[in-house]
Structure 1
Amino acid sequence: MRHTGFDSVQIDADARTLGASVTHRLRLAITRGELMPGQPLGQEDLAQRFGVSRVPIRDSLKQLAAEGLVDLAPYRGAVVAQLSLDELDELYGIIWSLEALCVEKAVPLLGVAELARMAALIDEMEREARPSEWYALSVSFHSLILVAAGRSRCVRIVDECRHNVGRYLIERDFFATQVPAWRARNRKLFEACRRRDTAAAIKALDVMRTLSTGQIREHLKATQRRRPAR
């Protein structure tokens, strides 16, 4: 195994899994805020950090560009993508539309095991104070509803969208001020699911769509003022 320069995370040296390992680690570095929006991603520098050739780095950057996490520009190379307000609106439009669609189908189908797992995640979110770890728990919580609806394609799409916007949610100061409300909104959604109250679950999602998206929009605007686009 080869070690990277990012938190000593290991990269699998097997050629069959090398590309996937590099892509996974780069994705984590972006979504956890280790690599910031607008930051250049030099292939040579990344290859040295990961202890690999430039080939898997180049392939990984192309994959992450397809996911919206990296911008590839002629003569400028790769940089960590910065979301515009229009892009944020588009991503959240996808998230909330697909989740509402799945909630309507999933709530009546949730079994004892699914509800127990949701309850455990809610409890973990109450205790977790680290932004990245909390957000991962929240994504898992919402994914359980999508899975219960039997919509595997929705799971993939929503997870990709959530990972893209999540890197703005986990900025420490913003997270600290907002997480109490996010915890309460997730718990409200869980309680509606536990009661098998589809209408209440959809209403809880609508509150998230209106309040959480508005707050994150304002945060992104402030971030853009502090960090002009390259």
Structure 2
Amino acid sequence: MTSNAADPIYEDLRALILSGKVKSGSPLRQDEIAKRFGVSKIPVREALQRLEVENLVTFERNKGATVRHYTVTEILQLMDIRIALECRALELAVPHMIDADLREMRKLLSDYAQRTEAAEWSDMNAKFHHMLYEPCGNAQLLRMINDLQEKLGQYLRLLVSEATGLERPMREHDEILDACENEDAATAVHKLRDHIQTTQKEVAAFLRRGA
């Protein structure tokens, strides 16, 4: 059972971590957090433990709590899981897409193409992928995809957008949506798999260069 005093601390720290405002590996000093919120260390500890359960925080002996650091290997493994979950969601979604869904996605891609900032690309990319999978009708699968995106966090999603740029993802998004409009689930899934795998390779190269 969680205490009300821990809730705002948990929500504030979680938002800071997922946005990348507190970087991976950063220490989370309980006394400083307690002072900022005007509380004892007990609700701070509880909030940090909740974040640990979500894999956002780690506790180390003689070091205390730090923001969870994902290695390059772990990031690429999370993208492997993306392929499995998202391809299945799209396979289920295509037969249930209606004209209104397709129009909204086409409109989003048109708006997406006008944007110039990586942060905007990142947000609109996430929205497009969400719209692709939403008609799948499997709430648990959608929740798993959302949980995975939250693990990656805004900071890592922005890194992906910086690594890939706009032109190649936009072209591939158009091709995926073309297949959906043609009710061709097999082609849509094939193109989605290639799309994520290419992104994975670009992110690996980007990280190897020390980004």
Give SS of 2:166's match. helix
Distance 1:31 1:87 in 2: 17
Assess if the C-alpha contact under 8 Å between 2:6 and 2:46 holds in 1. Answer: yes
- Once the two structures are TM-superposed, the CA of residue 214 in structure 1 deviates from its matched residue by 0.9
**Counterpart AA for 2:85:** L
- Once the two structures are TM-superposed, the CA of residue 168 in structure 1 deviates from its matched residue by 2.6
- Once the two structures are TM-superposed, the CA of residue 93 in structure 1 deviates from its matched residue by 1.8
Task: Select the structure with the greater relative contact order (CA < 8 A; seq sep ≥ 6).
Answer: 2
Assess if the C-alpha contact under 8 Å between 1:43 and 1:57 holds in 2. Answer: yes
Paired residue total: 208
Summarize the alignment of residues 1-230 of structure 1 with structure 2, pairs less than 5 Å apart. 16=4, 19-50=6-37, 53-166=40-153, 167-171=155-159, 175=162, 178-223=165-210
Give SS of 2:65's match. strand
Distance 2:45 2:186 in 1: 47
Q: Which runs of 5+ in 1 are unaligned?
A: 1-14
Question: Cα RMSD over matched residues?
Answer: 2.7
Distance 2:58 2:74 in 1: 13
Distance 1:114 1:191 in 2: 13
The residue that corresponds to 1:11 in the other structure is: none
Q: Which runs of 5+ in 2 are unaligned?
A: none
**Counterpart AA for 1:58:** R
Structure-1-length-normalised TM-score: 0.76
Assess if the C-alpha contact under 8 Å between 2:163 and 2:206 holds in 1. Answer: no
The residue that corresponds to 1:5 in the other structure is: none
Distance 1:53 1:196 in 2: 57
Assess if the C-alpha contact under 8 Å between 1:146 and 1:154 holds in 2. Answer: no
